[in-house]
């Protein structure tokens, strides 16, 4: 499973280093490891987007899978091409950070993605 390296970066409690359990590289923020996976490194290309649209906690916060900017911040409605871009925005925006808490859409989505890969890590690019 991707693991959070202890200790937040600077004054932002949401910017931890995350270690990819497939390649052992570290990335800043959950947005960093998502970007790594979205690019098809360690995880099948396109799978993260599919997972987001399968997630009940986030599916209502996204547009159709074929839209150019299918993802948006539920708080400020800014639109993005990748879910990692939404996390990047929210991790760094004081007015939107509450969406990262477990009881909000991005916190629930993060848990869903981590739980999925903890249980079903076999869709790693190395194993395909």
Domain boundaries, the chain: 3-121
Given a cut of 70, whether residue 6 has pLDDT beyond it is no
pLDDT exceeding 70 applies to what percent of the chain?
74
The dihedral through the CA atoms of 106, 103, 63, 42 has a sign that is positive
Given a cut of 80, whether residue 59 has pLDDT beyond it is no
Given a cut of 90, whether residue 89 has pLDDT beyond it is yes
């Amino acid at each position: 499973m991707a693991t959070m390296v202890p200790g937040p970066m600077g004054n932002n409690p949401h910017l931890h280093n995350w270690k990819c359990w497939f390649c052992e590289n570290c990335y800043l923020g959950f947005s960093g490891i998502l970007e790594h996976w979205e690019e098809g490194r360690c995880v099948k290309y396109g799978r993260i987007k599919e997972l987001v649209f399968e997630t009940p906690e986030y599916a209502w916060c996204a547009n159709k899978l074929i839209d150019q900017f299918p993802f948006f911040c539920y708080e400020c409605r800014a639109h993005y091409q990748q879910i990692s871009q939404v996390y990047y925005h929210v991790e760094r925006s004081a007015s939107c950070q509450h969406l990262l808490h477990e009881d909000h859409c991005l916190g629930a989505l993060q848990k869903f993605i981590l739980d999925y890969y903890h249980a079903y890590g076999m869709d790693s690019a190395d194993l395909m």
